[in-house]
Amino acid sequence: MIYLDHAATAAPRRDVLEAMWPWLTTEYGNASSHHERGRRAARALEDARERVAAVLHARPGEIVLTSGGTEADNLAVKGIALARRERRATRTRVVPSAIEHHAVLDSAADLARYDGFEARTAPVDASGVVLPDAFRALLRGDDAAAEVAVASVMLANNEVGTVQDIAALAEIAAEHGVPLHTDAVQAAGVLPLDVRELGVSALSLAGHKIGTPPGIGLLWVKRGTPLRPLLSGGGHERGRRSGTSTVAGAVGLAVALEAAERERGEFVRHGAALRDRLIGGILSGVPGALLTGPDPSAGGNRLATNASFCFPGVNGETVLVDLENRGVLVSSGSACSAGSTEPSHVLTALGLPPEVASTAVRYSLGRDTTCEDVDAAVTATADVVTALRGGS
């Protein structure tokens, strides 16, 4: 099988699993226990936190370990919004971009539905880039009763690979005194994650995109940013996220994040060359294929690991099934929306009609992807789309 769905999840790294193994077997102590086994677990947990913080150029105390990217996004959007409103009741607007992951969009919708907030999405252009003037206008607010509690713009989009100029958007947010959260789940190992350079107030990551098993992630929260915990219990993570700490997961996350940063330069060069080969092959080999998201050949800022297309006239889910039958594993967009009958909100936000958006297929590359894999995927895609259109 040729696996081109790394944006959904990557294979666990062997060095990650080896580092985790003792904390899953002989060293199974609870990091909150006051005996030697618990103290060893606590030391391992804090060592992992320090290593993760070093990669992000952050303080260890700013790292909140979570169960993954979804929890981190929820904690950022809801936790900051609710905490800020407690300090000033007029902060009642949340502003995600129109192409955020559902973990962010649904968090904003929950705040609007249950907690009296107003959710307003920031529009994007046809490549998925947030429009700065429209973003600024939403943060400015139109009356004193609609001050913005938090904004959220993902660093790199999971469906179409758009990379945002987060530092510029963070400057706009700072002008209006608004904390900006960024979902950097797809960016890890591909883009720099220096939180000082990004200028944001909070950042989410998920380990399973860079080589841990699912179940571990983090939220970095800049010191001084108010955050209301969403989980009640033992007051873990300095009172910001209750729940018994997954020491093994934290250790694995530290190893994976260090490796991803260490290998990033070579991985990006390798991935970008394969991405461009894939895009060129699909556009030349599949009549009517439409590249979605930025065009790197025209200077568009796109993830080195992402290529996504629409194939008007065929059903995207049918393409997936037929490609799997030919030994190629891809997706139709976000794995978290698999099975949905609705067209991708990302593609419709880019201005594509629903009937075109429903033909989407996403290819995402990994460390072990080869030229032969890409060429085989291009050939299989051309054969599948041609057959579905009734060709020979």
- Cβ burial, residue 25 (10 Å; 0-12/13-18/19+): exposed
The mean pLDDT of 380-384, rounded to a whole number, is 98
Q: Is there a single domain that holds both residue 89 and residue 145?
A: yes
Last residue of a domain, one of 261, 292, 307: 261
Q: Range of 295's domain?
A: 2-10+264-385
Domain annotation covers residue 392: no
Our count of domains for the chain comes to 2
Q: Is there a single domain that holds both residue 268 and residue 197?
A: no
Domain annotation covers residue 42: yes
Residue 144 in this model has a pLDDT that exceeds 90: no
The mean pLDDT of 99-117, rounded to a whole number, is 96
List the Cα angle 344/368/314 in 5-degree steps.
30
For residue 155, what pLDDT is reported? 98
Q: Is there a single domain that holds both residue 299 and residue 375?
A: yes
Q: Is there a single domain that holds both residue 242 and residue 330?
A: no
Which is it for strands 118-119 and 63-66: parallel, antiparallel or unpaired?
A: unpaired
Domain annotation covers residue 74: yes
Domain annotation covers residue 391: no
Helices (H) and strands (E) in the chain, counts: 14, 12
Tens digits of per-residue pLDDT, 226-251?
A: 999 999 988 899 889 989 999 999 99
Tokens standing for residue 146: 């609609």
Domain annotation covers residue 323: yes
Question: Nearest-CA neighbor of 251 among 76, 15, 62?
Answer: 15
Last residue of a domain, one of 238, 261, 284: 261
Contact in structure between 357 and 33 (CB atoms under 8 Å)? no
Which DSSP helix (H) or strand (E) runs through 218?
strand 217-221
Q: Is there a single domain that holds both residue 255 and residue 292?
A: no
Domain annotation covers residue 390: no
Distances (CA, A) of 273 to 159, 268, 321: 19, 8, 27
List the Cα angle 339/341/356 in 5-degree steps.
115
Q: Is there a single domain that holds both residue 112 and residue 241?
A: yes
- CATH number for 227: 3.40.640.10
CB neighbours (10 Å) of residue 248? 27
Domain annotation covers residue 44: yes
Q: Is there a single domain that holds both residue 24 and residue 149?
A: yes
Q: Is there a single domain that holds both residue 253 and residue 310?
A: no
Q: Is there a single domain that holds both residue 239 and residue 361?
A: no
336, 338, 371, 387: which is the annotated catalytic residue?
336
For residue 374, what pLDDT is reported? 98
For residue 243, what pLDDT is reported? 93
Domain annotation covers residue 46: yes
Torsion over CA of 278, 281, 287 and 288, rounded to 10 degrees?
Answer: 30
Question: Would you say the C-alpha torsion 358, 341, 385, 336 has a positive or negative sign?
Answer: positive
| β-sheet bridge partners, residue 364 | 5, 306
Residues in the chain: 392
| β-sheet bridge partners, residue 217 | 66, 206
Q: Sheet holding 180-183: strands in order across?
A: 63-66, 217-221, 202-206, 180-183, 147-152, 91-96, 118-119
Question: Nearest-CA neighbor of 362 among 383, 388, 336?
Answer: 336
3-state secondary structure 347-376: HHHCCCCHHHHCCEEEEECCCCCCHHHHHH
- Direct distance between the N- and C-terminal alpha carbons of the chain, in angstroms, rounded to an integer: 25
Measured CA to CA, the distance from residue 55 to residue 131 in angstroms comes to 30
Q: Is the pTM of this model over 0.85?
A: yes
Measured CA to CA, the distance from residue 82 to residue 85 in angstroms comes to 5
Measured CA to CA, the distance from residue 251 to residue 48 in angstroms comes to 5
Last residue of a domain, one of 261, 292, 309: 261
- CATH number for 295: 3.90.1150.10
Tens digits of per-residue pLDDT, 309-320?
A: 999 999 999 999
Q: Is there a single domain that holds both residue 254 and residue 296?
A: no
In the residue annotation, 310 being an active-site residue is answered as no
Q: Is there a single domain that holds both residue 89 and residue 35?
A: yes
For residue 77, what pLDDT is reported? 98
Average pLDDT, the chain: 95
Torsion over CA of 99, 78, 173 and 260, rounded to 10 degrees?
Answer: -60
Tens digits of per-residue pLDDT, 38-47?
A: 899 999 999 9
Q: Is there a single domain that holds both residue 149 and residue 42?
A: yes
